[in-house]
Chain A
Amino acid sequence: MIRLENVTKVFDTVTAVDRVNLEVPKGEICVLLGPSGCGKTTTMRMINRLIEPTSGRILIDGEDVTQGDPVKLRRRIGYVIQQIGLFPNKTVVDNICTVPDLLGKPRKESRARAAELLEMVALDPAVFLNRYPRELSGGQAQRIGVVRALAADPPVMLMDEPFGAIDPINREVIQDEFLRLQRRLGTTVVLVSHDLDEAIKLADRVAILRDGRLMRYAPPAELLSDPGDAFVEDFLGRDRALKRLRLVCAGDAMDRNPPRLLLSDTQARAREIFEATAAPALVAVGPRGRPRGLITRAAADGAGTVAEHATPVAATCRVEDDLRLAVAAMLADNMPIIPCVDAEGILRGTLNFADVTAALSEKDTAP
């Protein structure tokens, strides 16, 4: 657990950080968010004393870290910077083992741990351990930067815009990997970002700073549904409702027991179902339960089978996808309803726009 008590930093005459109080529970990710010059990086760098606070206390697991040797403190805290900063003269394995080596840990153990950590970020140790940083792609280097920070199993990790320099596609992948790794190791993380989407994706709590002051400290869902003041609202943007789509997965919003309609059923059966529900359209399944067609209320007339009148399924979403992906697919393919499937492609539920609205308003009332 990390606790900041009335932490203040004054540079000459400028107050960069002004009486910030913050508590990050063990194993959580706190994202410090704000416009440039808001004091977020200064706040983070005071935790490992790359910057010494002017006043206030910083406690890690109850121990005041503003006293004692800063070098020993830093060896207990993982540190990742945007430029990555892998040492070009050292191999990947020696880079990863930097802190264990500084701590004088047995080489064999730390090398074995390095290989283990590399596997956790989907890099083959046999290929990468003896490479030099210049032989890595940007994404590989950033993964190794994260692994290096975790090599000595620090309880706390500080990250300064760690995924800022990576292209958007790789960024999502690396963020997901990082989340898995962080959950598995239970590391407490303080991460600086200026990217709201990144904060929503990664944070358990978001701290919004402005001119050195903490404006708001709340879980992302709470922040988006209730910004609290005009600055925060403005910072979150007028499309903040859309951002909330990321926080809900399709499986939680979908109708789990949609009316069962087979592609081989008659149109009369479809009309019967439409009379009993308000759904704008129905998903018809094949014999094994895979979505095979969509039929709208208007198309459910006349005789014959559903198969003759249904349109093909243009897109499906996975139950674990977030609502943003589901809604994007619905909009792209002009679907009033989207089938939600599991890994085998079996229909698990359906999602329409009313379900999405309901899910978001539920979040509103949740604590």
Chain B
Amino acid sequence: METINFAAQNWQVILERAGEHIVIVAAAVGIAIITAVPLGIAITQNRRAADAVLYAASILITIPSVALFGIMIPLLAPIGHGIGAVPAVVAIVLYSQLPIVRNTYTAIADVDPALREAAMGMGMRPFQRLGQVEIPLALPVIMAGVRTAVVMSIGVTAIAAYIGAGGLGTFISRGIAQSDPRQLITGAVAVSLLAIAADLGLGALQRALTSKGIR
């Protein structure tokens, strides 16, 4: 009851924090998509490169986020961003590589070789083949990777409150520091709701982007 009152009284602050949270996640996952999708496609050309890249991405994701933030303080301090939103974004970009690269790689590599041969035999150039055949067919699996990355990033961003990135994690860190269950629960519930909403929204986007022929 107290928590509900707290949330009702502070809804404007909650919205503001949620906004910060979303900006960090959106920026980071956006960058991750731009880097990881081409990387995932590129490594379909070479088995050894694929193994190496997927191995590296798997190692990255095992580093605890708090440790990663700690490592980045000295690395990013020279450009004035040792703490704040920038290291949070960098960490999420790194974490998001594995789900997006792996799903892109698997989906593109799984495209029926007969379709590739038909596309080549009819005179598609490699990028036309990617754009007209391979990416549209791989899209549901790539989007599934993006959804995983987004949900994971919402959690990581909550922890980034400890390095001053803002966002909904602020309620959690303050709730812990001040032994205030109202803030703690408000933050936790808000982070969960945001994750669920993001996943549902991206699921709808995935269906809208997927061709009726493969739905």
| Residues of A bordering B, CB below 8 Å | 48, 50, 71-75, 79, 81, 83-91, 98-99, 102, 132-134, 148-149, 158
Contacts and interface: CB of A to CB of B under 8 A. Distances in A.
Given A87-B119, A132-B211, A132-B214, 19 more contacts: A48-B121, A72-B123, A74-B121, A74-B122, A75-B123, A81-B114, A81-B117, A83-B114, A84-B118, A87-B132, A87-B133, A89-B133, A89-B214, A98-B122, A99-B122, A99-B123, A102-B124, A133-B213, A158-B121
Given A79-B118, A81-B114, A89 B211 contact: yes
A259 to B, nearest CB: 58
Interface in B84-134: 112, 114-115, 117-125, 128, 132-133
B124 A85 contact: no
A71 B133 contact: no
A352 B183 CA distance: 101
A98 B115 CA distance: 13
13 contacts: A73-B123, A81-B121, A84-B118, A85-B114, A85-B117, A87-B132, A87-B137, A90-B213, A91-B213, A99-B122, A99-B123, A102-B122, A134-B214
A48 B122 CA distance: 9
A91 B211 CA distance: 9
B47 interface: no
Contacts of A132: 211-214
Interface in B195-215: 211-214
A134 B215 CA distance: 10
A73 B125 CA distance: 12
B125 A71 contact: yes
A48 B121 CA distance: 7
Given A71-B125, A72-B123, A102-B123, A88 B118 contact: no
Interface in B7-32: none
B211 A81 contact: no
Interface string B52-72: 000000000000000000000
A98 B118 CA distance: 11
Interface of A is mostly: mixed
Given A83-B114, A102-B128, A90 B211 contact: yes
Contacts of B137: 87-89
A89 B123 contact: no
Interface residues of B, number: 21
B213 A71 contact: no
B181 interface: no
A72 to B, nearest CB: 7
B146 to A, nearest CB: 19
Contacts of B123: 71-75, 99, 102
A52 B171 CA distance: 65
Nearest to B120: A50
A68 to B, nearest CB: 13
What 6 pairs between A and B have smallest CB-CB spacing?
A85-B118, A132-B213, A75-B123, A74-B123, A83-B114, A79-B121
A75 B125 CA distance: 11
Nearest to A101: B132
A94 B38 CA distance: 26
Contacts of A89: 133, 136-137, 211, 213-214
Contacts of B120: 50, 74
Contacts of B124: 71, 98, 102
Contact of B213 (A98, A134, A149): A134
Contacts of B136: 89
Contacts of B125: 71
A149 B118 CA distance: 10
Nearest to A99: B122
Nearest to A82: B114
Nearest to B133: A87
A83 to B, nearest CB: 4
Nearest to B139: A89
B121 to A, nearest CB: 4
B203 to A, nearest CB: 19
Contacts of B112: 83, 85
Given A71-B125, A90-B213, A50 B117 contact: yes
A158 to B, nearest CB: 8
Contact of A81 (B118, B132, B214): B118
Contacts of B114: 81, 83-85
A148 B123 CA distance: 13
